[in-house]
A and B are shown apart, each in its own frame.
Chain A
Amino acid sequence: MTPELIELRQAQVTIEHEAVWTFETIAARSSQLKKLAQTSASQHRQNRDHLNELLTNAAADVPTPLPGYRWDELNNDAKMQAASQDILVRLCALELEVIARTSGSARSASVLNLSNMSISAVRWGGTAQAFPGLSSR
């Protein structure tokens, strides 16, 4: 991995830690969103573990989770949905940067992950966009 790609992967891990914490917290707090949150938490635990492995294999530092995140904002379903969408938007933007810097199987995995996270954003109440993660001219 190039130093540039390592930095991107580290940024992804940092947000994946937040994602896992957020989805697990939502699963514990909302009966309405519990099933969706559990599914999302599982998906992002896998993403985090995969990224950790990539960084470890590259002998790079692996970011650790923070002691806590914005737990006080997750006090109703609407705010939980908004927080989830915000995390997914940030992860999609990073994934697009990875896509531009990879090829072959690594790019293929990132492209698929981008689609999965974009689908997840819709399941969390977002609307479909023409180009998720990209801005118009």
Chain B
Amino acid sequence: MPTRRTIFLGLAAVGVGGLVLSGKSDNVLRAIGVSPVPEVRDSDIALVKTAIAESNDLLAAAIQVKANFAASVLSTQIAELGGTATRKTEHPTITAKGILKVACEQAAIQRRDDAVAAVAPQLAQTLASLAAGLAQLSVTPSEAL
């Protein structure tokens, strides 16, 4: 029989943000009768909410500067984190693709710190991968962004 630890590590990591937000990340454990199960930490919930909010900010900027590829990547990130993509199409300060790339780099640095701070191992993976995706956007040529 797998241990609780191996069960947690065996779950698909993407989508963890939504489970964290809903407080249901232990549903798999409950379903197979494992008890007690760990509660979702408030600090983890805050990390996911912040990541969604900041990615939505970047998404609005990407739409404004017509960075369609970046907008697609950011929309996927937000959805997989359990958020809803913004309907905003303007950003007050990010007015060019070059500035968007710098903003993605800064967001990647913050998400890396968040990944280290995350309590749930799966959330650490998700935030680390999110950071890596943002870092990739920061080095994507502007014409492909």
Contacts and interface: CB of A to CB of B under 8 A. Distances in A.
Please indicate whether A and B come from the same complex rather than being unrelated chains: yes
A128 B128 contact: no
A99 B128 contact: yes
- How extensive is the interface on chain B, given as a class? 20 to 34
Contacts, number: 112
Contact of A122 (B9, B13, B124, B136): B136
Interface in A67-123: 92, 96-97, 99-101, 103-104, 107-108, 110-112, 114-115, 117-119, 121-123
Given A112-B112, A114-B129, A129-B133, A136 B122 contact: no
**Interface of chain A, helix or strand or loop or mixed?**
helix
B75 to A, nearest CB: 9
Contact of A137 (B14, B73, B121, B130): B14
**Interface of chain B, helix or strand or loop or mixed?**
helix
Given A96-B13, A135-B12, A129 B116 contact: no
Interface string B100-121: 0000000010001001100001
B137 interface: yes
Nearest to B136: A128
B107 to A, nearest CB: 12
B44 to A, nearest CB: 14
A112 B112 CA distance: 7
Contacts of A122: 136, 139-140
